[in-house]
């Protein structure tokens, strides 16, 4: 049968990314407490395509997923990218993986158990001999407004906040490490299940620890900066305001050093 994808294309245009997007696929990821966790992930997978070829072989992306489905994590991303380049005869490969991750939490007073969802993200890129990996985690927390507390004779407004952290790193770390770092940097963490005693505790703890959206990103960024394992980071926080029809937002990104002679 004719391999149409390998036919010559005469338009002399390289394609930087070509592949498949939005593949829903069950995978197994590493879990600090239980060893592994089965999750339903969404994949975007791309490779470069030289100008001389008409197309790439889309089915091979799925074949690679089948090959690695039992172990897809930050330890194996490099191998997956190498396999993509080899099987598709490409100079570069890119992969993006989004998946929900669940952690069992105990309520602070009653110790009632419940599962809380965190959205996670793996990004990998291989170009030539250069590899780039980013791990991202979205963590919901609670914040209490310091200004509202200061100016009010009683109470203060609070809101659920979404903190997004992306990191580059030197060696393996657990997703739970980032989640705990973020939760300890807010007015309070949140839970799926709270009894009345728990709700009282969480409310009072948050009230005693008010934080602006700026406080959250600075606190998280300071902890990441002090950990030498993280070579780069970005931290975003969005407060879903309870007394406004808009969100409050802040972002910190570690600056990449500018090489000598590179003027920007």
Structural domains for the chain: 14-253 (3.10.270.10)
- The yes-or-no verdict on residue 210 having pLDDT over 60 is yes
Cα–Cα separations (whole angstroms), residue 17 to 58, 64, 92, 122, 222 = 12, 17, 9, 17, 35
Q: Give the pLDDT confidence score for residue 55 in this predicted structure.
A: 56
**CA-based nearest residue to 188, from 145, 220, 141, 233:** 141
In this structure, the chain runs to a length of 264
- The yes-or-no verdict on residue 10 having pLDDT over 80 is no
CA 79 to chain centroid: 20
Q: What is the mean pLDDT of residues 68-88?
A: 86
Split at pLDDT 50, 70, 90, the class of 2 is very low
CA 75 to chain centroid: 16
- The yes-or-no verdict on residue 52 having pLDDT over 90 is no
Q: Torsions phi, psi of 87, nearest 5?
A: -70, -30
Reported as a single tens digit per residue, the pLDDT across 176-207 is 999 999 999 999 999 999 999 999 999 999 99
Q: Give the pLDDT confidence score for residue 19 in this predicted structure.
A: 87
More confident residue, 16 or 214: 214
Reported as a single tens digit per residue, the pLDDT across 108-162 is 999 999 999 999 999 999 998 889 999 999 999 999 999 999 999 988 999 999 9
Instruction: Kindly state the percentage of the chain with pLDDT values over 90.
Output: 65
The Cα–Cα gap between 106 and 33 comes to 14
Is pTM beyond 0.75 here?
Answer: yes
Q: Give the pLDDT confidence score for residue 8 in this predicted structure.
A: 46
Reported as a single tens digit per residue, the pLDDT across 212-240 is 999 999 999 999 999 999 999 999 999 99
- Write down the mean pLDDT value for the chain: 88
Split at pLDDT 50, 70, 90, the class of 54 is low
Residue 202 parent element (H or E): helix 196-207
Q: Give the pLDDT confidence score for residue 3 in this predicted structure.
A: 44
More confident residue, 41 or 73: 41
Split at pLDDT 50, 70, 90, the class of 4 is very low
Of the ranges 45-49, 67-71, 114-118, 188-192, which one carries the lowest mean pLDDT score?
A: 67-71
Instruction: Kindly state the percentage of the chain with pLDDT values over 70.
Output: 89
Q: What is the mean pLDDT of residues 24-44?
A: 91
């Amino acid at each position: 049968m004719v391999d149409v994808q390998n036919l010559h294309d005469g338009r002399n245009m390289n394609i930087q990314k070509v592949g498949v997007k939005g593949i829903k696929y069950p995978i197994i990821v590493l879990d600090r407490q239980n060893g592994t966790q089965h999750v339903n992930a969404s994949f975007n997978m791309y490779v470069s395509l030289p100008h001389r070829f008409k197309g790439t072989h889309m089915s091979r992306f799925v074949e690679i997923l089948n090959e690695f489905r039992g172990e897809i994590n930050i330890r194996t991303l490099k191998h997956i990218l190498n396999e993509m380049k080899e099987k598709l005869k490409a100079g570069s490969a890119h992969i993006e993986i989004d998946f929900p991750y669940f952690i069992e939490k105990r309520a602070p007073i009653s110790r009632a158990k419940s599962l809380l969802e965190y959205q996670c993200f793996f990004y990998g890129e291989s170009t030539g001999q250069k590899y780039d990996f980013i791990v991202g985690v979205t963590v919901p927390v609670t914040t209490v407004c310091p200004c509202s507390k200061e100016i009010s004779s009683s109470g203060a407004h609070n809101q659920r906040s979404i903190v997004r952290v992306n990191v580059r790193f030197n060696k393996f770390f657990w997703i739970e490490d980032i989640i705990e770092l973020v939760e300890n940097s807010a007015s309070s963490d949140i839970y799926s299940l709270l009894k009345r005693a728990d709700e009282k505790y969480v409310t009072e703890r948050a009230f005693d620890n008010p934080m602006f959206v700026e406080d959250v990103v600075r606190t998280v960024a300071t902890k990441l900066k002090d950990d030498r394992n993280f070579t780069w980071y970005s931290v975003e926080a969005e407060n879903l305001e309870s007394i406004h029809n808009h969100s409050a937002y802040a972002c910190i990104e570690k600056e990449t050093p500018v090489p000598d002679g590179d003027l920007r």
